[in-house]
Amino acid sequence: MTDWRNQRGHQGPRRQRNARERNGHDLTVYEAEGRRADRARDPHERYEGHGLPGRRRGRPRRRPPRGVRTVAGQVFALQLGVVLLLVVAAVVALVLQSRYDSEREARNRSMAVAESFANAPGMAAAMRGADPTAALQPLAERARKGSGVDFVVAMSPHGIRYTHPNVNRIGKHFMGSIDAAVKGRTVTETFTGTLGLSVRSVVPVLDQRGKVVGLVSAGITIKKVSGAANHQLPLLFFAAAAALSLATVGTALVTGRLRRQTHGLDPAEMTRMYEHHDAVLHAVREGVLIVSGDGRLVLANDEARRLFALPPDAEGRLVAELGFDPHTAELLVSGRPATDEVHTAGERLLSVSHRPTDRNGGPPGSVATLRDTTELRALTGKVDLARNRLKLLYDAGVSIGTTLDVVRTAQELAEYAVARFADYVSVDLADSVLRGEEPQEGAAGTTGGGGSADGRPTPLRRTALSGIRDDVPLYPLGKLIRFTPNAPQAQGFRTGAVTVVPVLSDHGGWQEQDPDQAQKIVDSGIHSMITVPLRARGVVLGVASFMRAEKPEPFEEDDVSLAEELVTRAAVSIDNARRYTREHTMAVTLQRSLLPRVLPEQNALDVAYRYLPAESGVGGDWFDVIPLPGARVALVVGDVVGHGLHAAATMGRLRTAVHNFSTLDLPPDEILSHLDDLIARIDQDEGHSAVADGDGGGEVIIGATCLYAIYDPVTRRCTMARAGHPPPAVVSPDGTVELLKDLPVGPPLGLGGLPFETAELELPEGSHLVLYTDGLIEKRDRDIETGMEMLGDALAHPGRTPEETCTAVLGALLPERPSDDVALIVARTRVLEPGRIADWEVPSDPAQVSEMRAAVARKLAEWELGDVAFTTELILSELITNAIRYATGPIRVRLLCDRSLICEVSDTSSTSPHLRYAATTDEGGRGLFLVSQFADRWGTRYTAEGKVIWTEQTLPLPKNGKPRP
């Protein structure tokens, strides 16, 4: 472009003025643009002429290379293309015509030869002769050579050759079609043989009666009759060369003429300049309108045409006729300068700048630039849309994942999306996710890593469903859906990719699942769907499907990104809930494994229990029922402070310790003291572990509460002690409820420093002893006193069984979502019948041992236990003898016939006998050894008066074979 301006500058002022007069304002615009470009390139360059850019003095003028972009080159290229097209068309037509003529000539020649040979005199007689080949072979060869065909074959009506140029083929079957010839008609067909494309004709040979006695076939290759095109092609090529020569001469003449008309400017340069300026003019995003001095539109670029919807013939017409807004039309013809005036064009808002062109000697008229400010409003709308989208996602973060529950979180996603994004939403998860586990199959990167790529269906369970109506035929909640491999849900679960189905009726993959169901869904109005996999930590947990019915527009790419954002947030919450469910299930499983699964058999109490873990995590609540010697039963309820696996593990240690201490048959206060020491040692161990692990060495406080009660069905007395635990409740047979608030309460276990006290009370037969943890009566919005009053009201109903009492209490006091564990024991007291108790006081005289054995034998006979009389007499003899020998004071003997036969010998001594093994030379020391051998269990318990040595023996079955009550 610079060279062109320099050349124009070198031509002189007069030529430039003539060019401006001929070309109008267009060159003025180009000159101004060229001046700005030249100044930008070389600010020190001097120019010649009246403001037109000129070339630097002494610099030789360069001409750009010529090419097809010049006008002459384009004309030459066009002429060359036309000539070549005509030559190719002529050659193709000539070849096709030649081929058609050759084939027609071949058909005519083969038919003529075949008919002539078939109708030759004596042909029918030769066909019927004894040796047709000897008579016809020479004739056929002469006819073939004379006519120029490739073969003349005479054959029988069955197609057996009599003649052939190759004598080896005589007597073989003819390969062509003869069915029509056998019926008296002629046949001509084209075939490809060993010599190439050929034509053959088959003619029947008739006798005098018109009967076909033989057939004659003649064939010829098409290339033998072709060759006309070979003679015409040189003439065609000579004509093409002449046309090209004329085109070259014409191009040279046009080039010279153009150089003269453009005053030495190269046409290629003018073409390049025009194309560049035209491209710039129409590529800018601002509209340009040039109006002449008489109010006619001279030029309008593409953007201006688009903004004002101008017709194709707008140039040259008056501005008033083009449908501009009156305010805009007035500005365009007024010549008034304007900057960024706001005008309207239909629904668009334009910023218009207007300047006259007659300044500095330019042509009369004006130029206007237009800028569409509607885009700014659209951009503002996009900003609002983005802000609304951010708010939507923020609200989703608040509304989805409010609980650590997988099903609830999925339902929150469905309900939230229906209210703001889609008409129907379903969430399908793998069953393993609902159990707190990772899916066994899914997208790459998951544990399964394969999904149903092998063609197997993908089973997902419908976990959440929400929509604007309830009558849509979607799969119901809880249904296990086996999606086919081509279903979007299966593909999303397998590959982790989002699937968009803009028009459901056109997509076949999801219809393979259940065509009838799919048709019902389409008929209900659902027309578009997005399926997004629920992915978290690289694991696909399931898929969420968004569907539209009421909204007519299908889902688009913007909807896909929004759906992915929603599902991503929900997937994190669902994965957190899944992991919580897994951990919670593990902790609950651990805790339940540490709790009693089956209550031990005993006759002192009729026991029912309930244990409910907290919703937010397992705690340290526990309970136990422990049979004790003497038909007694111990009831234990405890609560470890805190939640989680640590509390559950501590609870298991305490429960084991309680069992161990109970075997010593200690009173409740001493058992609590031992538990208190154990908690202190656990605290000390945990503190040392914290120091070793570098956690700062702070003390790890483990607190616990406990209530330990022992019920004796013989005396109906209940002995209990508690360490910081809520008081038990006693329900009399008439329904009177007494909360034992006066029961002495010691400090929680682990604090130490204070003793524990034991209290005794006598319970009527049929009373209910209720033990519980604070999770039953305590609640955030309810104090303990209110809870205990509610507990008393729930218990004040006579005639209930322990099971019914447990159900009533939990229904009245338990919240919907308990924040703490709840352990509850309801025990109805029983009394051992007096007839099953035998009690004697034995004087401290060895002579009384025989009388005692006789009395015991009589009582066992009365109880129908004669089978164990000898063993029992032996056991009591040893125990009474030891008591007389080593103890002082009165000696008492008691027999209890319960689930086992219990023998008790009590004295005032606190010295406990020890089992030892006597040597062969020892005269004594075998008494307790014999007792341990004959009794199932034996032991010692201490009382306020001394001690009791007891044994237990299994009762034999009665004579009727039924177990004893």
DSSP 503: -
Give the DSSP letter string of 608-636.
Answer: EEEEE--SS--EEEEEEEEEETTTEEEEE
pLDDT digits (tens, 9 = 90+) for 180-190: 888 888 888 88
pLDDT digits (tens, 9 = 90+) for 96-147: 777 777 788 888 888 888 888 888 888 888 888 888 888 888 988 888 888 8
Query: Per-residue pLDDT for 333 more than 60?
Result: yes
CB 509 within 8 Å of CB 486:
yes
Q: What's the distance, CA 572 to chain centroid? A: 12
- Kindly provide the residue ranges of all beta strands, DSSP E only, lying in 830-930, ordered along the sequence: 837-842, 891-897, 900-907
Helix (H) or strand (E) holding 482: strand 480-483
CB 161 within 8 Å of CB 152:
no
Q: How far apart are CA 510 and CA 518, in angstroms?
A: 8
Q: How far apart are CA 803 and CA 607, in angstroms?
A: 8
For 404, list phi and psi in degrees, rounded to 5: -90, 55
Q: How far apart are CA 550 and CA 548, in angstroms?
A: 6
DSSP 909: -
Beta bridge partners of 542: 429, 534
Neighbours of 728 (CB within 10 A): 23
Query: Per-residue pLDDT for 806 more than 60?
Result: yes
The whole-number pLDDT of residue 16 equals 42
Q: Can you give the three-state secondary structure of 772-785, one letter per residue?
A: ECHHHHCECCECHH
- pTM value is 0.52
The whole-number pLDDT of residue 500 equals 87
Phi-psi region for residue 704, left (φ > 0), alpha (ψ -120 to 50) or beta? beta
Q: How far apart are CA 961 and CA 541, in angstroms?
A: 59
The whole-number pLDDT of residue 263 equals 58
Q: How far apart are CA 199 and CA 188, in angstroms?
A: 7
pLDDT digits (tens, 9 = 90+) for 392-430: 666 676 678 777 888 998 998 888 888 778 889 999 999
Neighbours of 465 (CB within 10 A): 24
User: What would the mean pLDDT of 607-618 be, rounded to a whole number?
Assistant: 80
The whole-number pLDDT of residue 447 equals 40
* Sequence-distant contacts of 852-856: CB under 8 A, at least 24 apart: 852/876, 852/877, 852/880, 852/893, 853/877, 856/893, 856/895
Query: Per-residue pLDDT for 229 more than 70?
Result: no
User: What would the mean pLDDT of 849-862 be, rounded to a whole number?
Assistant: 89
Radius of gyration of the chain (CA): 57
Tokens matching residue 262:
């453009």
The whole-number pLDDT of residue 184 equals 85
Pairing of strands 729-731, 768-772: antiparallel
Tokens matching residue 445:
């990167």
User: What would the mean pLDDT of 732-759 be, rounded to a whole number?
Assistant: 89
CB 259 within 8 Å of CB 282:
no
Q: How far apart are CA 201 and CA 215, in angstroms?
A: 10
User: What would the mean pLDDT of 803-814 be, rounded to a whole number?
Assistant: 92
Neighbours of 49 (CB within 10 A): 19
Q: Which are the contacts of 799, defined by CB distance < 8 A and separation ≥ 6?
A: 735
CB 721 within 8 Å of CB 710:
no
pLDDT digits (tens, 9 = 90+) for 810-840: 999 887 777 788 899 999 999 999 889 999 9
The whole-number pLDDT of residue 195 equals 75
Q: How far apart are CA 19 and CA 261, in angstroms?
A: 11
The whole-number pLDDT of residue 71 equals 59
Amino acid making up residue 868: V
Q: How far apart are CA 943 and CA 909, in angstroms?
A: 10
